[in-house]
Structure 1
Amino acid sequence: MSSAASPIRVVSPEADERIFVTQPHMAPLSEFIPYLEKIWDSKVLTNRGPFHRQLEDALCEYLGVEHLALFANGTLALVTALQALRITGEVITTPYSFVATAHSLLWNGIKPVFVDVDPNTLNLDPKKIEAAITPQTTAIMPVHCYGHPCDVEAIRQIADIYNLRVIYDAAHAFGVKTESGSLLRHGDLSVLSFHATKVFNTFEGGAIVCPDAKTKQRIDHLKNFGYVDELTVVAPGINGKMSEINAAFGLLQLQHVDEAIARRKRIDAMYRELLRDVQGIRCLDAAGETASNYAYFPILIESEYPMSRDALFELLRSHEVIARRYFYPLISDFPMYRGLPSASRDNLPVATEAALKVLCLPLYPALRDEQVERIAAIVAQAQ
């Protein structure tokens, strides 16, 4: 690995070799064909078929949780998690996330209340939560941003005092562990995304980690139109089921996910070494995880750096490196949210500043060492 102290020549890429911020990790196609053949033979495409059941069991074992309900995507899982706990009124959440976090609240007729984030983790700041609680507050929806754990104990204590539910948007947190075990065991529910861009993907997909069998049963009813049997409907559910093809692909992907995470860890270490001495570039540190998934590599562009975040974004793009400004704009800046009192930038100074500083560099298992070095060289040698 090259040292950040030694200048690296910036080599122009081939015309067709654009480097995107992420790329789906996919198991070999030849290994997927036998799964497809079984589906073609069985004619079972959906409605909790054999691969669906197998994947739920396999994920419970891999993730260290007891109950898990698969979904067609993570957004439907968020929407259903709120319904499963009968959340109403107001929910405290973060402005620094993908829009699906807050959209799931609006889909349920719930008012989002935005609270600022911690400057070191960019997760919801527990010190700001209590001041936002009103008689209408029923829950807290934090996000384990970039896969770094929220302060789960502080959030739990606040929720206990005020009798609030906690639903974690754990879209980034697949496989993340802390000293107490799986990060997904915290809160009343944790919601995962298996979108194509995630560390573990099923093409499209998601899941809700449930604390007990009774909660999982309610969620399974809600994701299948509320049906218990062909004569009994117990809730106004939605069609959120994962198909057999997605579940089969997930079973195959699970066989390769440790290898993919190991490669992500190598790339993360390379970036940190190569950018270690670059003035004005700050890398986010761990937030208490004992096992990380290295889902993203965000850097913060500080005032000491010779150009702005957006200028660096454009410089990288001119070299066919498509970084992303995750998360910019803030959710609270979008039209359907910016009229809320909690969406005021004066209420969200840390999140507002982070949205103007953060740039996520490309990170995916197929990214080659020389590509990582080239990206780091562009950042290090910017003028």
Structure 2
Amino acid sequence: MQRLPLIVPNPPRLADYKTALERIEVSGIYSNFGPEARRFEQEAAARLFGGEGACLTVANATLGLMLALKDAVGEADGRYAVMPALTFAATAQAAWWAGLTPLVCDIDPDDWTACPAAEERLLHQHGDRIAALVPYAAFGHAIDLDRYAWLAKRHEVKVVIDAAASLGTSDAQGRSFGAGAPFPVVFSMHATKPFAVAEGGLIHCGDRDTIERLRAMANFGFAGARSASVPGLNAKLPEVLAAIANAKLETFGATCAARERVTAAYRAAIGGRYATQPAPAGRQALGFFQLLLPRGADRARVAAALEAEGIGTGQYFSPHIGQQPWVRQVATIEPTPVADDVAGRILSLPLHDAMTAADAERVIAALDRACAAPHGRHRPAHRRQQAGPARRACARAGADRARPGDRRRPARPLCHHLGFDRADLPQRGGRQSLSRDRRARRPSGGAHRGQLSRRARRAAGGGRPAAPRDGGPVAPASHREWREGADRA
């Protein structure tokens, strides 16, 4: 069966932009916001953002975030940039390079974006120590930009949107995410994104003056003559990459539609069995399909099982930024219980241009098998260490595997192999638990439960259960006496 890698980059083929390369060669302009870059900026503003505002090409989205934050806050003096825990490291890196201190907050349990209550609590708690909000549109999920515009006015704080994975996201009316926003919205055109180029970024803003300031900053701070008038660096997109971006623009509508069909197939195949982000009213640009494994599932083993069936997986973003060593050194990190849980269970599944709805169904069927198998359930380390000779003997005697959803005991109880009736066991919460009962009733001598099992087997004769005279099971005498003594105690 055909392998399904997690990501299959699909930038335009050489034939799609060969003519543009010839134009570049003839012009002799290979960078410095040349004709190809300017053409793409204009076309992107018109076709992706409905003619609202303006766009700026940059070498990558990380540089775009750095420029936008530096322009927004000026001299940061180590003030805070609030950002969610579940985001790519570049969000924190860009804030730090702009002179800001990342202030990491928890996420919303439903859509996995920054928790609104956490953001507003931090704004009230820290006041003007917060210079900027840097929300991440998680996995292309459209966040409420009107709310951020309101927060910017109410708290006099700057906003820069990390929309690296969101180029192609739109609302129910087809309006692109970020269109006309009063603050910079930064997108990625990395090869792994739906708008796959190779490297590159695109900044959109409803304010054209902001875009022109950022253009100067991206060109060493040169606003006109070759004399730096604002802080700057080199963030220009080369003409060759701009030519690829122009070619991708021609096919991007079909790319989004194809991915949307696969996404719909994923959601239908899941049928509510796994937690996902809520389905959008419009279109969500997904680089891969994210879901949460059930609590207790062993993610590494599930991923290995899928790999064995030719299905690649990932775990974006795990660890989240609040768990990464460098960020922990330079940032202030709030408690993030929701992000901890999501990052601990998140699994990224393939979603690329060549996939079909049948491929999505195949992936979920394989995931169901992997999660249902015994190795798909996580057994805590302390339980693995306590699995002594009694349980190993039980397994050798033919306890094939645990019941689905039961990680603590084999399908055949130990009493079956020791020769006494399971009905004799004490009831605990409506379920029978041999291992827990025996551990609780351990005699004062402190014998290990594995040792008790060996004694019971020896008393029954050579480790085999005593044969009952009437055809029914009977407990070995030593084990029965121990239980009676424990009951009297």
Give the corresponding residue for 1:8.
Answer: none
Q: Distance in 2 between matches of 1:293 and 1:159?
A: 26
Query: In structure 2, what residue type is equivalent to 1:218?
Result: R
Q: Contact 1:168–1:187 (CA<8 Å) still a contact in 2?
A: no
| 1:20-99 matches, cutoff 5 A | 20-64=5-49, 65-87=52-74, 88=76, 89-99=79-89
1:235 lines up with 2:230 in the alignment = yes
1:183 lines up with 2:171 in the alignment = no
Residues 164 and 272 of structure 1, relative CA distance in 2, 3 Å threshold: same
Q: Distance in 1 between matches of 2:135 and 2:301?
A: 31
1:320 lines up with 2:305 in the alignment = no
Q: Contact 2:45–2:53 (CA<8 Å) still a contact in 1?
A: yes
- 1:137 Cα deviation (Å)? 0.5
Q: Give unmatched runs, 5+ long, in structure 2.
A: 374-489
SS in 2 for 1:274: helix
Q: Distance in 2 between matches of 1:368 and 1:73?
A: 30
1:359 to 347, 371, 389: 347
Query: In structure 2, what residue type is equivalent to 1:183?
Result: F
Query: In structure 1, what residue type is equivalent to 2:209?
Result: K
2:143 to 137, 143, 150: 150
Greater share of residues in strand: 1
The number of residue pairs the alignment matches comes to 361
| 1:209-224 matches, cutoff 5 A | 209-224=204-219
Q: Distance in 2 between matches of 1:46 and 1:149?
A: 32
Give the corresponding residue for 2:290.
Answer: 298
1:173 to 150, 166, 170: 166
Deviations 1:41-74 (A, max 9, x none): 2211111111111000010012223211100111
Between 1:155-164 and 1:112-121, the stretch displaced more is 155-164
Q: Distance in 2 between matches of 1:42 and 1:340?
A: 46
| 1:112-151 matches, cutoff 5 A | 112-133=102-123, 134=126, 135-151=128-144
Identical pairs, percent: 27
Q: Distance in 1 between matches of 2:351 and 2:247?
A: 22
SS in 2 for 1:20: coil
2:94 to 100, 104, 121: 104
Query: In structure 2, what residue type is equivalent to 1:265?
Result: E
SS in 2 for 1:359: strand
- 1:21 Cα deviation (Å)? 1.4
Greater share of residues in helix: 2
Residues 341 and 202 of structure 1, relative CA distance in 2, 3 Å threshold: closer
Give the corresponding residue for 2:391.
Answer: none
Q: Contact 2:290–2:348 (CA<8 Å) still a contact in 1?
A: yes
- 1:35 Cα deviation (Å)? 1.4
Query: In structure 1, what residue type is equivalent to 2:73?
Result: R
Residues 214 and 155 of structure 1, relative CA distance in 2, 3 Å threshold: closer
- 1:341 Cα deviation (Å)? 7.3
- 1:28 Cα deviation (Å)? 3.5
Q: Distance in 1 between matches of 2:354 and 2:299?
A: 26
- 1:172 Cα deviation (Å)? 1.4
Query: In structure 2, what residue type is equivalent to 1:291?
Result: R
TM-score scaled to structure 1, two decimals? Answer: 0.89
SS in 2 for 1:93: strand
Query: In structure 2, what residue type is equivalent to 1:270?
Result: A
Q: Distance in 2 between matches of 1:61 and 1:313?
A: 42
Q: Contact 2:91–2:162 (CA<8 Å) still a contact in 1?
A: yes
Q: Which has the larger radius of gyration?
A: 2
Q: Contact 2:172–2:283 (CA<8 Å) still a contact in 1?
A: no
Q: Distance in 1 between matches of 2:73 and 2:332?
A: 23
Residues 156 and 229 of structure 1, relative CA distance in 2, 3 Å threshold: closer
**Where in structure 1 do 4 or more consecutive aligned residues deviate above 6 Å?**
none
Give the corresponding residue for 1:310.
Answer: 300
SS in 2 for 1:146: helix
Q: Contact 2:186–2:202 (CA<8 Å) still a contact in 1?
A: yes
Q: Distance in 2 between matches of 1:217 and 1:275?
A: 46
SS in 2 for 1:176: coil
TM-score scaled to structure 2, two decimals? Answer: 0.70
- 1:149 Cα deviation (Å)? 1.5
Q: Distance in 1 between matches of 2:348 and 2:354?
A: 17
- 1:258 Cα deviation (Å)? 0.9
Q: Give unmatched runs, 5+ long, in structure 1.
A: 1-12
Q: Contact 1:223–1:241 (CA<8 Å) still a contact in 2?
A: yes
Q: Contact 1:126–1:154 (CA<8 Å) still a contact in 2?
A: no
